[in-house]
Amino acid sequence: MGIRMYSTVSCIKYDNGSMVPSSHDVVMEVPLAVFVNGRHALTAMVSPTMLEEFVTGFLYTERIIKKPEDIESLRIEENRKEKGTDTLSASVLTKDPFSIMLSGKTVLSGCGGDTSYVDADRLPKIQSDLVTDVSTIKDIMKETLVSDLHTRTGGIHIVGLFGLDGKICIIEDIGRHNAFDKVIGYGLKHGVDFSRTIVTCSGRLSSEMVRKCLMANIPVIASRGATTTLAISMGEQSELTIIGFVRSRKMNIYTGTERIKNEERF
């Protein structure tokens, strides 16, 4: 990618009773304002990489576009510095100029944004015959969590997309929802059949993470972290497989257990 995702800053380090001048690598966070057909759709706080993928994935999961070809043009621009911080903007033109717009919301890096809807009767159901096993889930989670950037900064989320033949992409961002949108955008640009994929995540599985799976028809999502009751309820209703606490020889399979075979490779 070639774009630096962290900056070295000075600090005072306290260690065992002593305070000494030092420095630390800190992950970068920049605002990205997205305009669709001339209207402000949202401002997201993101890591400054794979921005076209982020915008494509976000517009897809929000159903502003149905396929990447619905985007007539997408331009990323760097704006003037405000208080020393670069600001970025994305200008999108769609083939349908009357695409439904969002209400100019701000998406913070910590959470990601509001769930568009959680009405069980309106949730799409997963359409997939994918079946995998516990060894595969453990292996791809381990592969996902290998991150020099996280080791260096301690401040990044990681989302991976895997197919039956292995890794499709692993993407890092300050927000797990941002990283997931980038993964979906990458998949769309590369013609991935999402119904044959598994998503892995370093952080909590929220209702918004589940919703993005449903919008993209991704049948399995697994995380090293916890999940929420609403995410589980949505997963049960939509036949999504949700797996949490994938660590060493353990995991919790909350929904869609029929997709996970009890097979381990020792």
Confidence of residue 72 (pLDDT cuts 50, 70, 90): very high
Q: Which of 111, 169, 201, 213 is catalytic?
A: 111
Residues sharing a CB contact under 8 Å with residue 134, sequence separation 6 or more, in sequence order: 251, 260, 261, 262, 263, 264
Confidence of residue 112 (pLDDT cuts 50, 70, 90): very low
Pairing of strands 241-247, 198-201: unpaired
Which pLDDT value is given to residue 98?
Answer: 75
> Do the domains at 30-116 and 132-261 have one common CATH topology?
no
Q: Where are the domains of the chain?
A: 30-116, 132-261
Which pLDDT value is given to residue 121?
Answer: 67
Cα-based torsion angle of the residue sequence 66, 76, 198, 202 in order, rounded to the nearest 10 degrees? -140
**In the CATH hierarchy, which fold is given to the domain comprising 30-116?**
Ubiquitin-like (UB roll) (3.10.20)
Q: What average pLDDT score do residues 1-27 get? A: 88
pLDDT exceeding 70 applies to what percent of the chain? 87
Which pLDDT value is given to residue 253?
Answer: 98
Q: What average pLDDT score do residues 169-189 get? A: 97
Q: What average pLDDT score do residues 195-214 get? A: 96
Nearest alpha-carbon partner for 198 in 168, 238, 154: 168
Q: Is the dihedral of CA 126, 130, 134, 135 positive or negative?
A: negative
In the block, residue with structure tokens 């915008």: 55
Q: Answer yes or no: is pLDDT of 2 > 90.
A: no
Q: What average pLDDT score do residues 42-54 get? A: 95
111 is a catalytic site residue: yes
On whether the CB atoms of residues 228 and 205 are closer than 8 A, the answer is yes
Residues sharing a CB contact under 8 Å with residue 5, sequence separation 6 or more, in sequence order: 27, 28, 47, 48, 49, 149, 156, 172
**In the CATH hierarchy, which fold is given to the domain comprising 132-261?**
Cytidine Deaminase; domain 2 (3.40.140)
Which pLDDT value is given to residue 96?
Answer: 86
Which pLDDT value is given to residue 265?
Answer: 60
